[in-house]
Amino acid sequence: MTELRPDLRRDLPADLSDLAEDADLAERIREEIGRAGPIPFARFMELALYDPAGGYYRSPEARPGRGGDFLTAPELHPIFGEMVARAVVQAWEGLGRPDPFVVREHGAGDGALAAPMLASLRSTPLGAIVRYQAVEIDDRRLTRVRERLSVDGLADQLEPVSDRPFDGVVLANEVLDALPVHRVRRRGDSVRELAVDRAVDGSFVEVEIEPSTPALAARLAAEGIDLDDGQTAEICLALDAWIADGVAPLRRGLIVLIDYGARAADLYDPVRRRDGTLRAYVRHQVHDDPYRFVGKQDLTAHVDVTAVERAAHAAGLAKVGITTQAEALIGLGIEDRLREIQADPATTFEEYTLLRSALLRLLDPAAMGRFRVMAFGRDWPDDVALGLFGYRLRARGRDATTQDEY
């Protein structure tokens, strides 16, 4: 069974004739292959997404959003940001209300999460002292965040990212799935790596090579994974460094990661995911050809939750909890918030209808509701319970200080 993002069709539409690869980027990739030979898929994905002059996430055009290629939870409705604000307040209180308190968001985009989150925090004691830091690979996106917060009167809470240690929360919503991945395939008794070569006609083709690093076999072995003959899988070696760097300045607090993924045993299931999880997204469509619109389409792979947990532990963090997005939002009180909005005389029928539609997608276990919410802490108090994991605590009748795992 292939898992897809919500609101995406399985096949490409009949006509995408106006779309093409980024010619300059594609040519630079071909030249690199010409110089060095076939390149690991991870290198191809790195260039396709992050090349400074043509990568997908370097473009000034819309990417996430209704006018882009896919929707993330913050774009669906501001209520998602409101719920994140509740989690931030609980983290602040759990740490003893430190002042100042920093929220650092990776993949801030155009501020779709930051704006409603900070607006909601304004009605709490934390709102007066919270500092928001946006992390983006392209300065133009940082400008958009600043402009959006300025419109909402929230720009005074924005500050530059620095290496200065801080107490706070590190957020990353749908970031890990876009880290470059190596692709491997089992052939008999050995594991081969999938690389990218150029054909005579200049098109990109998949070839098999000897693994470019022993870390690939080491990751599979560490997780107890034995691929079936012919099975293809993705391995994100970039995950470890990303988490280590992301929490390096975190003195006390949490990192909260939200993404679609699974534990290694499920992620590498030889029946359900024999061909891996790599997908390409363009104009709210999904397909399986990563070479078709180079630089113009998103490339993602499911996140290895087991690898995330191992990387967090290696970075000196302790697991606080792992659950699903649906359960996290319910635990934070999203159903009560829906009823409040419904009872508000100022709420129009159209506003309520849009909100209910968004909630269905946010909570649906066949869509965004199945996303994993993972929280890891540094110097985090053991006796503090978070609403993020409140649903499972109530459902299982556990002690309120136990952060259950999904």
pTM: 0.91
How many residues are given for the chain? 406
Q: Give the pLDDT confidence score for residue 388 in this predicted structure.
A: 95
* Concatenated DSSP letters of 157-218: GB----S--EEEEEEEES-GGGS--EEEEEETTEEEEEEEEE-TTS-EEEEEES-S-THHHH
Q: What's the confidence (pLDDT) of residue 282?
A: 87
Closest to 304 measured CA to CA, from 220, 379, 384, 381: 220
What confidence score (pLDDT) does residue 7 get? Answer: 42
Q: Walk along the chain (406 residues) and give the pLDDT tens digit of each residue.
A: 334 444 444 444 545 677 888 999 999 999 999 999 999 999 999 999 999 999 999 876 656 555 555 678 998 899 999 999 999 999 999 999 999 999 999 999 889 999 999 999 999 999 999 999 999 988 888 888 999 999 889 999 999 999 999 999 999 999 999 999 999 999 999 999 999 999 999 999 999 999 999 999 999 999 999 999 999 999 999 999 999 999 999 999 999 999 999 999 999 999 999 999 999 998 778 889 999 999 999 999 999 999 999 999 999 999 999 999 999 999 999 999 999 998 999 999 999 999 999 999 999 998 899 999 999 999 999 999 999 999 876 666 544 444 545 5
Domains 23-67+182-235+262-301 and 73-178+242-260+305-396 share a fold: yes
CATH class, domain 73-178+242-260+305-396, is: alpha beta
Sort 26 into a burial class: Cβ within 10 Å, 0-12 / 13-18 / 19+.
buried
Tokens 């897809």 found at? 4
Query: What is the predicted pLDDT for the residue at 336?
Result: 92
Q: Are strands 166-173 and 101-106 parallel, antiparallel or unpaired?
A: parallel
Q: What is the CATH number of domain 23-67+182-235+262-301?
A: 3.40.50.12710
Residue 179: what pLDDT?
A: 98
Give the start-to-end residue ranges of the domains of the chain: 23-67+182-235+262-301, 73-178+242-260+305-396
Asked whether the beta carbons of 362 and 326 are under 8 A apart, the reply is yes
Question: Minimal CA–CA distance to 41: which of 286, 189, 216, 161?
Answer: 216
- Give me the half-sphere count of Cα atoms (radius 13 Å) on the Cβ side of residue 263: 8
